[in-house]
């Protein structure tokens, strides 16, 4: 077991008092930073649920932001699962900024929460704050995105997708299209947030697979920050500087959907003039796929809440948990999207 528990049990009363005081400080800090809406949809839920007998687990959760449909579904899953599991959730929205996440994690440490879970906006720069959590004896669960820390004892487990595999699946589909053997194929790539695990890995997996066919060339690659507006803006620029774009590979649905607007505004037909591959398979993406505007989507499952709560309970109880939990995922073409849409949860 990696995580030590304190030899003298902490008083529940004292712990709660510290938490409340620290939460008040965080609220004031966020308000002072003009960040008052940062916790929208958050707050602590539910207060002391499941506290009838023993004490409920308190989880500090630092979310990346609200940049995409995937993120919204992920947040909902975490909040609902916490409630169902009787875990008291301290939710903080970092608005895509690492400094906000570090602040939130320090605050969770001060509050002496039982477990910290977070989805790191970027991969690097986490060691100091993770060491602080370790020194405080608070286990950390990475959820959705990974960190690049060499010291893996700084976190208890990493729950999330295999993003390299997702990039490979996107590349594999393209490799199998008849057009890929017919002649040169000009690809533009909309990358996710610079320095984030999904952006790094989705680019890498895709590049590795398409390298098998020299016809397939990435002619432009730039970040759209995983947002719809970012995807639209960057695609507009791509269209201006590259008259012959055959394929768009977007690291998420939202950027792909923004790009579709740019493509249509340029008088081209998305899904036909420019083939589009995206990642996530959220409802809006699946609808565009079913409508023929996207050609292929690699699924990335945002419903991590139930597994996260299960892992949290185990780690707090001192039980052994696997160091890596990978999410199961599939892929969709247009026909599969039509079939799956009516029962799609997110």
**Residues in contact with ligand GYE by the rule CB under 6 A:** 67-68, 70-71, 144-145, 198, 226, 252, 254, 279-280, 300
Of 44 and 252, which CB lies nearer to ligand GYE in the complex structure?
Answer: 252
Of 121 and 337, which CB lies nearer to ligand GYE in the complex structure?
Answer: 121
Least spacing, CB of residue 234 vs ligand GYE, in Å: 15
Least spacing, CB of residue 332 vs ligand GYE, in Å: 15
Integer CA distances (angstroms), 334 to 190, 308, 328, 330, in order: 21, 31, 20, 14
- Residue of 100, 105, 40, 108 lying closest to 76 (CA atoms): 40
As a whole number of angstroms, the distance between CA 285 and CA 291 comes to 10
Is 273 within 8 Å of 263 (Cβ atoms)? yes
Each as own residue / partner, the long-range contacts of residues 313-316 (CB below 8 Å, 24 or more positions apart, any chain) are 313/57, 313/85, 313/87, 315/3, 315/115, 315/139, 315/141, 315/156, 315/157, 316/57, 316/114, 316/115, 316/139
As a whole number of angstroms, the distance between CA 232 and CA 52 comes to 51
Of 111 and 191, which CB lies nearer to ligand GYE in the complex structure?
Answer: 191
Map residue 63 onto helix, strand or coil: strand
Least spacing, CB of residue 145 vs ligand GYE, in Å: 5
Residue 25, sorted as left (phi over 0), alpha (psi -120 to 50) or beta, turns out to be alpha
Of 23 and 340, which CB lies nearer to ligand GYE in the complex structure?
Answer: 340
Least spacing, CB of residue 304 vs ligand GYE, in Å: 10
Least spacing, CB of residue 199 vs ligand GYE, in Å: 9
Least spacing, CB of residue 23 vs ligand GYE, in Å: 27
Q: Which residues pair with 331 in a beta bridge?
A: 298
Of 138 and 279, which CB lies nearer to ligand GYE in the complex structure?
Answer: 279
Tell whether omega for the bond before 46 is within 30 degrees of 0, i.e. cis.
Answer: yes
Q: Which residues pair with 247 in a beta bridge?
A: 187, 275
Of 26 and 164, which CB lies nearer to ligand GYE in the complex structure?
Answer: 164
Calculate the CA 24 to chain-centre distance.
Answer: 28
Of 245 and 297, which CB lies nearer to ligand GYE in the complex structure?
Answer: 297
Least spacing, CB of residue 73 vs ligand GYE, in Å: 9
Least spacing, CB of residue 158 vs ligand GYE, in Å: 12
The length of the chain in residues reads 346
Of 66 and 175, which CB lies nearer to ligand GYE in the complex structure?
Answer: 66
Is 249 within 8 Å of 170 (Cβ atoms)? yes
As a whole number of angstroms, the distance between CA 341 and CA 104 comes to 37
């Amino acid at each position: 077991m990696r995580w030590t528990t304190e030899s003298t049990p902490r008083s529940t009363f004292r712990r709660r008092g510290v938490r409340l005081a620290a939460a008040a400080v965080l609220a004031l800090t966020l308000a002072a930073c003009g960040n008052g809406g940062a916790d929208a949809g958050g707050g602590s839920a539910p207060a002391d649920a499941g506290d009838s007998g023993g004490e409920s687990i308190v989880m500090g959760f630092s979310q990346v932001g609200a940049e995409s449909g995937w993120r919204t579904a992920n947040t909902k899953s975490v909040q609902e699962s916490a409630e169902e599991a009787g875990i008291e959730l301290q939710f903080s929205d970092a608005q895509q900024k690492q400094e906000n996440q570090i602040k939130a994690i320090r605050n969770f440490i001060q509050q002496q929460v039982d477990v910290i879970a977070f989805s790191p906006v970027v991969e690097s720069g986490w060691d100091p704050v993770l060491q602080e959590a370790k020194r405080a004896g608070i286990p950390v669960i990475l959820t959705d995105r990974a960190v690049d820390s060499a010291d893996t004892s700084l976190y208890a487990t990493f729950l999330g997708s295999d993003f390299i595999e997702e990039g490979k699946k996107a590349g594999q589909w393209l490799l199998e299209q008849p057009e890929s053997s017919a002649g040169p194929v000009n690809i533009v790539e909309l990358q996710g947030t610079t320095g984030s695990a999904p952006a790094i890995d989705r680019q890498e997996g895709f590049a590795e697979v398409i390298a098998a066919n020299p016809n397939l060339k990435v002619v432009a690659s730039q970040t759209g920050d995983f947002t719809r507006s970012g995807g639209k803006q960057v695609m507009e620029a791509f269209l201006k500087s590259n008259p012959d774009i055959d394929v768009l590979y977007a690291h998420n649905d939202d950027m792909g959907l923004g790009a579709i607007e740019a493509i249509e505004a340029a008088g081209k037909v998305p899904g036909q003039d420019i083939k589009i591959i995206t990642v996530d398979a959220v409802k809006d993406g699946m609808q565009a796929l079913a409508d023929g505007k996207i050609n292929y989507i690699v699924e990335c499952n945002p419903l991590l809440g139930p597994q996260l709560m299960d892992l949290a309970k185990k780690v707090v109880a001192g039980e052994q948990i696997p160091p890596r939990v990978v999410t199961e995922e599939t892929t969709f073409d247009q026909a599969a999207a039509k079939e799956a849409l009516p029962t799609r949860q997110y």
